[in-house]
Amino acid sequence: MVRKVHRNVRRHPLTHKSQYCTLVGSLRNMQYYELKFLCLSVLEISVFSMVSKEITRHVVDYISTLAWKNKMIVQSFHHSTFPEQSSTIEHYRNLGLLLKRCTLLLPTKERLKFIFTNVMLVSLQTLIAGWDELECHRVFNFLCDVTNLLQKIEAVITAKPGVWYQELQLRLFCRQVLLDPWSNQPECQFWLIQLLKPWPMVSQAHLLFILFGPLFSLQAGTLGWQDLVDRGQPHSALWDLARAILLLFGKLTVKGWTTDSMLAILEELIVIPQPWHVENVARLLVLCGSSLCYTVLVSKALKGRLLEISRLIVYIILVCEKDGYHMKWAVKLVQQICKVYSTAPERFCFIREVENMFSEITRDETFQTLCILLDSSARFHTKFLHMFLK
pLDDT of residue 244: 92
Bigger pLDDT: 113 or 351?
A: 351
Phi, psi dihedrals of residue 129, rounded to the nearest 5°: -60, 125
Bigger pLDDT: 282 or 101?
A: 282
User: Which residues have C-beta within 8 Å of that of residue 93, sequence separation ≥ 6?
Assistant: 122, 123, 125, 126
Highest mean pLDDT among 101-115, 131-145, 161-175, 317-331: 317-331
Q: What is the mean pLDDT of residues 363-382?
A: 72
Confidence of residue 386 (pLDDT cuts 50, 70, 90): low
User: Which residues have C-beta within 8 Å of that of residue 25, sequence separation ≥ 6?
Assistant: none
Side-chain half-sphere CA neighbours of 148 within 13 A: 5
* pLDDT tens digits along 273-315: 899 999 999 999 999 999 999 999 999 999 999 999 999 999 9
Buried b (16+ CB within 10 A) or exposed e, 145-172: eeeebeebbeebbeeebebeeebbebbe
What angle, 0 to 180 degrees and rounded to 10, lies between the N-to-C axes of helices 290-302 and 306-323? Answer: 160
Highest mean pLDDT among 149-158, 170-179, 358-367: 149-158
* pLDDT tens digits along 69-97: 666 655 544 445 556 656 766 776 777 77
Q: Answer whether residue 255 shows pLDDT above 80.
A: no
Side-chain half-sphere CA neighbours of 79 within 13 A: 12
Residue 360's Cβ-count burial label (10 Å; 0-12, 13-18, 19+) is middle
Distance separating alpha carbons of residues 198 and 202, to the nearest angstrom = 12
Angle formed at CA 376 by CA 375 and CA 380, multiple of 5 degrees:
120
Phi, psi dihedrals of residue 286, rounded to the nearest 5°: -65, -40
Highest mean pLDDT among 39-48, 65-74, 256-265: 256-265
Q: Answer whether residue 35 shows pLDDT above 70.
A: no
Q: Where are the domains of the chain?
A: 28-72+85-131, 148-250+257-277, 289-389
Q: Answer whether residue 180 shows pLDDT above 50.
A: yes
Angle formed at CA 168 by CA 94 and CA 236, multiple of 5 degrees:
90
Beta bridge partners of 215: 223
